[in-house]
Structure formats: C-alpha cells, structure tokens
Structure 1
Amino acid sequence: MAKKEKKKPVRTAIVLFSLFLFIGALFLKAVNNGESGKEKFSQTFSKEEIPESLIPIYKEAAEEYEVSWELLAAVHRVETVFSTMDELESPAGAIGHTQFMPCTFIGWGYPGCEDEEKGNLDIPKSTLTDMSVINKYGGYGVDGNGNGRADPYDIEDAVYSTANYLAANGAADGKEKKAIFQYNQADWYVEEVLAYAEEYEKHYVAVKNKEYDLHN
C-alpha cells in the first residue's frame, strides 16, 4: 500500500506566507504612522492660525535680532507645529520647541562636537543650558526669559535662539531663504517655511483655544 503524501510542507508554507503578510502589514502601518504623525498635529491649526500667547514672544525676539516675527512663527510651525507634537525630540537628535541640534545650540567648539557630523551629541542639560559654556564655544543658545540659562525646552529661550541663528545666517540682512536653508538644508523645508511666513504676513488669525505646556 502506497504511503499517503505528507501535507506538512504545504501547511508550513501557508503558515509562513500568512506570517509574512502579517509582519508586512504591521511594518506598513508603522511607516504610515511615522509619515503621518506631523500631518496629524498639523491639522490642529489651519494655515493662517497662530497661538495668541506666542505672538508677543515672536515679536520681542524679532525686534531684538532684526528679523521677521512671521518668519519665527513659520519656523516654529514647521518644526513642531507650535510645540504640539507629542515629543520635542526628532529621530535625528534635534531637541526643543524649535528643534536645535545640541552642538549648534551650545557651539561646535564644544568637546566632542567636532566628531559629530550632525551635532546630536549627548550633552548634560546643566552644561547645554549654561550661558558661560555657550558663549565660550560660540553657540546660538540665548537666555530669552532672563533666568540666567538658555534652555531649548523653554519657549522663550528657543524662539530667541532661533532668531539669533537666523539673523546670524543672513535673515537680518534680508537673506531669509539662505538663513532658512542653513537651519535645515532641504529645499522642501525652505519652501514650506517661506509659504507659512508669507501667509502670516498677508493675514493671520490669533487663536486662544489651543492649550499645551510650553515649558517642559
């Protein structure tokens, strides 16, 4: 009597194929969630809306560094959707309300930064926010609220630091496009920031109903 054919290889193949499809679906879901994360938060604000509580900070920093306050608002909008993102740290290592790389904030002369291509060095917060260290190494961090420290997680310090950076890279001389490109060297980024800045210059709406913690 001939032996019956074994079905195990076929069943195993079906199970493996099903598992492959399941893992693939999970992967695609994760990728889509990552890509749509900022879009989800972006829907919190229409393109002309700006949180009312932030406008005085933008204007004060803009006056101090002779840049457009609408430009500061636009950078903040594009970077963290006015700080409404779940996390204020990017996968690349940028931190805070306006997404500074640590070495840019403290200064590229800081020990170890010269070995970091993108500047995402792990620097203790007590050192990162120390104005004497920032001044020593030529960083862009600014004490915007006058408490003696420059903290990228403090909204005033972050906005003033961004104003400082943009001004030093051309915005104070009318070279906004150049300054924005230095902030994030991607053409799409420059276009998006300029689009928001132009929108705010034409017409903006100050909104009161957006509540979030600006001081982590």
Structure 2
Amino acid sequence: MRPQTKRYRYVYLITAVTALLTAAIVFIASSVQDGSTPTYNSQEDFAENEVPKEYISVYKQAGEDYDIPWTLLAAVHRVETVFSTMETLESPVGAIGHMQFMPCTFVGWNYPGCGGNGSTDIPERELTDPETINEYGGYGVDADGDGRADPYALEDAVYSAANFLASNGAAGGEVRPAIYQYNQADWYVDDILNYYNTYDEEVELVSLEENHLAEEGG
C-alpha cells in the first residue's frame, strides 16, 4: 500500500502544479490586451463626453489636413492614453507616444528587422527621421516643423494618427475598418466608436489643468 500512497501523492502534486500554472497563464493573458496598440484606461479623469479644450486646435487642423473627423482623433487619443494623462506613454507590448504607435508602424514595416507585433528596437534618430519614414513607408509626421517626426510630441503624434487613419479608409468614410487597422480587436473598435459618436453628439470641452487640479485636491 505504501508505494500506491506515494504514487497518489505524486498525482496530487502534479495536479496542483498544473492548476497553478494555468492560473498564472490566465492572469498574464488578461494583463496583455489584444491588438498592436493596447489601451490603458486606468484613470477616469474625464466624463464620457469630455475633451480637453487645449487639444481641439490640433485635432481640428489634423482632421482638416487629412480629411477625417477631428472627433475620431479625439476618440483615439482618449482610448489610447486618456488624453496623455497616463503615467507612462509606453505600453508593455512596445507601443509608444501620445497615440500609442508600434515603432514599425511609425517608421514603416519595411524597416530592417521589423516583424512580429512591430515592437522592434529602432534607434531614435531613425525612428523620428522624416526621410527614413518616407523610405520605409511609415506613418510618422513632422507636424510641428522641427525636422523630427516624434511620437512623443503631441502635434506629431496626432498628425501621424490622422495620416494612418486617413490612409486606411477613414478619409473615404470607412471609419470602422480604419480603426480596426489601428488596433485589430473588435472591443477596441467599439470603444473608439462609442467616444467618436458621443463627441459628435454632445461633446463638452473642459480644461485639462482643472481636471488635474481637481484630482489632486480630491
């Protein structure tokens, strides 16, 4: 009987270890969201219809230049980084900047070494170089005219997002497919469209500074 008891103990041990590993895998999977540009809505500093007034001129100018609704850009900015109020503008899977571009999408997927989810380590001087971006077919835009297309510069990031969305159908009215290309997950598309439609119907402009002051005071 003793060998049998020992065998049962091994079975119980293997079962317990398997259960723990399964739980760990589920936890990790739930921590990394689908798509190439993850969302981090960990702060809810804004009501569903609120947009910081400080960004409106950039949204509108980029929307006009690329023939897409400015409210679409606001919606993407809201979902991606809560209007750039997140503690970090870098995601665990490698998306960067105000509008959460994967580096390969920003500089171009023809860039040497680009593959997988696009989180290739690209030297900053090349990632932000307009000539390099043009050579490799990227979406990065030097909107502020400083000679660099910088995903961490708000104006550049918004214009780059406008470039991407317009190029993928939004300029022709294909808003949903364009959003899906930005992040290929249905839940993401639904989130963007929810804010986009809300802003179209009843947008309320608020002060970004006042929102932060209210949060600190609370």
TM-score, scaled relative to structure 1 = 0.79
| Runs of 4+ with deviation above 2 angstroms | 37-40
Counterpart of 1:203, as a letter, is E
- What does residue 191 of structure 1 align with? 190
Cα 1:49/1:136, change in 2 over 3 Å: same
- What does residue 17 of structure 1 align with? none
**Whole-Å separation in 2 of the counterparts to 1:103 and 1:173:** 25
Measure how far apart 1:125 and its partner are. Answer: 1.0
Contiguous gaps of at least 5 residues in structure 1? 1-26
Counterpart of 1:176, as a letter, is V
Counterpart of 1:106, as a letter, is V
**Whole-Å separation in 1 of the counterparts to 2:63 and 2:173:** 13
**Whole-Å separation in 2 of the counterparts to 1:192 and 1:40:** 14
**Structure 1 residue matching 2:71: 3-state secondary structure:** helix
1:44 aligns to 2:39 (yes or no): no
> 1:109-151: per-residue Cα shift (whole Å, max 9, x none)?
11111xx211100111111000110011110000111111100
**Whole-Å separation in 1 of the counterparts to 2:45 and 2:140:** 29
Alignment of 1:154-165 (within 5 A): 154-165=153-164
- What does residue 118 of structure 1 align with? 117
**Structure 1 residue matching 2:42: 3-state secondary structure:** helix
State the percentage of identical aligned residues.
56
- What does residue 147 of structure 2 align with? 148
**Structure 2 residue matching 1:146: 3-state secondary structure:** coil
Counterpart of 1:183, as a letter, is Y
Cα 1:137/1:51, change in 2 over 3 Å: same
TM-score, scaled relative to structure 2 = 0.78
Measure how far apart 1:103 and its partner are. Answer: 0.4
**Whole-Å separation in 2 of the counterparts to 1:159 and 1:147:** 15
Counterpart of 2:180, as a letter, is F
> 1:49-105: per-residue Cα shift (whole Å, max 9, x none)?
111110110000000000010000000000010011111111111000000000000
Measure how far apart 1:40 and its partner are. Answer: 3.5
**Structure 2 residue matching 1:206: 3-state secondary structure:** strand
**Structure 1 residue matching 2:51: 3-state secondary structure:** strand
**Whole-Å separation in 2 of the counterparts to 1:139 and 1:39:** 27
**Whole-Å separation in 2 of the counterparts to 1:130 and 1:39:** 31
**Whole-Å separation in 1 of the counterparts to 2:172 and 2:135:** 25
Counterpart of 1:193, as a letter, is I
**Whole-Å separation in 1 of the counterparts to 2:41 and 2:51:** 17
Contiguous gaps of at least 5 residues in structure 2? 1-23, 33-38, 214-218
- What does residue 75 of structure 2 align with? 74
**Whole-Å separation in 2 of the counterparts to 1:39 and 1:104:** 22
Structural RMSD (CA): 2.3
**Whole-Å separation in 2 of the counterparts to 1:158 and 1:70:** 15
Find the structure with the greater CA-based Rg: 1
- What does residue 15 of structure 1 align with? none
